[in-house]
A and B are shown apart, each in its own frame.
Chain A
Amino acid sequence: MLDKTGIAKRIAQELQNGWYVNLGIGIPTLVANYIPEGIEVEFQSENGVLGMGPFPFEGEEDADLINAGKQTITVREGASFFDSATSFAMIRGQHVQLTVLGAMEVSQNGDIANWKIPGKMVKGMGGAMDLVASADNIIVAMMHSNKAGESKILKECTLPLTGVGCVKKVVTELAVLEIKDGKFHLIERAPGVTVEEIVSKTEGDLVVPEFVPEMQL
């Protein structure tokens, strides 16, 4: 089973040379720490920066320089700043090649819910609806089940949707799943995790091939 770092490491393997990438808050942010050797990517944050670098050293934080999670950041050489309209032009205009974000629920036709629990939690969608409606390539980083042990990999989402039919790939602590033809497809299993466990924790329809390789991290 993977921890959050493991999920981030596995997603980092998806990065391709020359991509511009938007990382959401939480586990997705960690992906930046595990860029494979020889791969050059640039990170976009929707509050208006391309070319994000690592977090600043203590004492070097700049209140005017943050990411979309409101964390202090630095920029790499060649970075640029822009306004929010330009930022979402990059996103909607599909100039950003990959979006990685978290989710509360994902369904087998690629729907995603991650912004609202009616009556309980309403934080808002931020940029998530623009991101999922536009990106060609969306990877969701999430836990397979909620704290009560109920699957979050579903036939249909129960929470208010963020986007419809948009998620292509899901990486959880247990598995890598692809979504196509209205079903989840088991691509890889996490180290030490059995196919049976993944099947039992997946509520949506899951296609399991004869051989399911273990992730190489």
Chain B
Amino acid sequence: MNKVVKNVEEALIGVEDGMTLMIGGFGLCGIPENSIAELVKKGTKNLTCISNNAGVDDFGLGLLLQTKQIKKMISSYVGENDEFERQMLSGELEVDLIPQGSLAERCRAGGAGIPAFFTPAGYGTEVAEGKEVRIYNGKPHILEEALTADFAIVKAWKGDTEGNLVFKSTAMNFNPMMAMAGKITVAEVEELVPAGQLDPNHIHTPGIFVQRIFKGEKFEKRIEQRTTRKRS
């Protein structure tokens, strides 16, 4: 089945005000840069964004915060973004902070038809407030519910016309689970190849989870914390 769309504009047709979007990536690593830029251009508002982080002030989801297009963020860590902190502390932005492993599993569960699961993470903390607690193996666990989204927007290294995806290094992160949990999943890739070019043994995300795929026009791939060592 051919999943290829012409460009980012076509990939994001149907993204409307008030929708819930999952956006792949960890920090600025493995984020769908082209789609985020297109969302800024489209000016879609009142978005709920499920993403591990919120970018930095002038890149990643930070761009959508600058333009106040995001109503609510569901994330695990947002510490690198001053505008985010300002909007959150002033109450302009609704924020749901959840443990990173629970966020990953909630996305996976959403895509896998598991409505909820018990995890030990967050027991005894603010995160557990209002959640059912059960003891398993002598240890308290809290009930966490699955997450899904109107659109999941992910970024892969290589993809084929069938929507099969291969990720590179730690740019994989949340992308595979989010791809599973979107009603419509959009994949932007660095390299788009004809079906048959990717080894089926090496596919990370099977094309069944992807509805639209396109080759991103340009990837800046900004590095957040450039850390090096000296040559001795």
Chain A residues in contact with chain B, CB under 8 A? 45-49, 54-58, 60-73, 75, 81-85, 87-88, 91-92, 111, 116, 119, 122-130, 133-134, 160-165
A66-B27, A83-B177, A129-B125 given; A92·B119 CB < 8 A? yes
Complex interface: chain A residues within 8 A of B226 (CB): 61, 72
Complex interface: chain B residues within 8 A of A130 (CB): 99-102, 119, 121
A126 to B175 Cα, complex, angstroms: 17
Q: Which of A70, A73, A87, A126 contacts B224 (CB 8 A)?
A: A70
B180 closest partner in A (C-beta): A85
Assess whether B221 is interfacial by the CB under 8 Å rule: yes
* Distance to closest chain B CB from A96 (angstroms): 12
Q: Which of B14-22, B62-70, B166-174, B195-203 contacts A (4 or more CB under 8 A)?
A: B166-174
* Distance to closest chain A CB from B111 (angstroms): 10
In the complex, besides A70-B80, A84-B104, 13 extra interface pairs with C-beta distance below 8 angstroms are A54-B229, A55-B227, A55-B229, A63-B29, A63-B171, A64-B29, A66-B29, A82-B172, A84-B173, A85-B107, A88-B100, A125-B97, A162-B125
Complex interface: chain A residues within 8 A of B32 (CB): none
Interface majority SS on A: helix, strand, loop or mixed? loop
Complex interface: chain B residues within 8 A of A111 (CB): 124
Assess the A83–B104 pair: CB atoms within 8 A.
Answer: yes
Chain B window 214-232, contacts with chain A (Cβ cutoff 8 Å), 1 for yes, 0 for no: 0000000111111111110
Total of A-B residue pairs, C-beta within 8 Å: 183
A46 to B177 Cα, complex, angstroms: 15
* Distance to closest chain B CB from A190 (angstroms): 27
Assess the A64–B76 pair: CB atoms within 8 A.
Answer: no
Assess the A66–B85 pair: CB atoms within 8 A.
Answer: no
* Distance to closest chain A CB from B214 (angstroms): 19
* Distance to closest chain A CB from B100 (angstroms): 4
B126 closest partner in A (C-beta): A160
* Distance to closest chain B CB from A169 (angstroms): 20
A62 to B95 Cα, complex, angstroms: 31
B contacts with A, residue count (CB < 8 A): 59
Assess the B29–A61 pair: CB atoms within 8 A.
Answer: no
Q: Which of B80, B88, B108, B126 contacts A85 (CB 8 A)?
A: B108
A68 to B221 Cα, complex, angstroms: 17
* Distance to closest chain A CB from B125 (angstroms): 5
A62 to B171 Cα, complex, angstroms: 10
22 A-B pairs, CB-CB below 8 angstroms?
Answer: A55-B227, A57-B230, A58-B228, A64-B170, A66-B26, A70-B29, A83-B172, A83-B176, A84-B26, A84-B173, A88-B104, A124-B76, A124-B79, A124-B97, A125-B100, A126-B77, A130-B101, A130-B121, A133-B122, A134-B121, A161-B124, A165-B124
A45 closest partner in B (C-beta): B170
Complex interface: chain B residues within 8 A of A87 (CB): 101, 104
Closest 5 CB pairs of A and B: A88-B101, A123-B79, A130-B101, A164-B124, A63-B221
Complex interface: chain B residues within 8 A of A55 (CB): 227-229
A115 to B64 Cα, complex, angstroms: 25
B111 closest partner in A (C-beta): A85
Assess the A81–B169 pair: CB atoms within 8 A.
Answer: yes
Complex interface: chain A residues within 8 A of B119 (CB): 92, 130, 133
Assess the B100–A72 pair: CB atoms within 8 A.
Answer: no
Chain B residues 5 to 48 lying within 8 A of chain A, measured CB to CB, are 26-30
Chain B residues 99 to 145 lying within 8 A of chain A, measured CB to CB, are 99-105, 107-108, 119-127
Chain B residues 143 to 176 lying within 8 A of chain A, measured CB to CB, are 157, 167-176
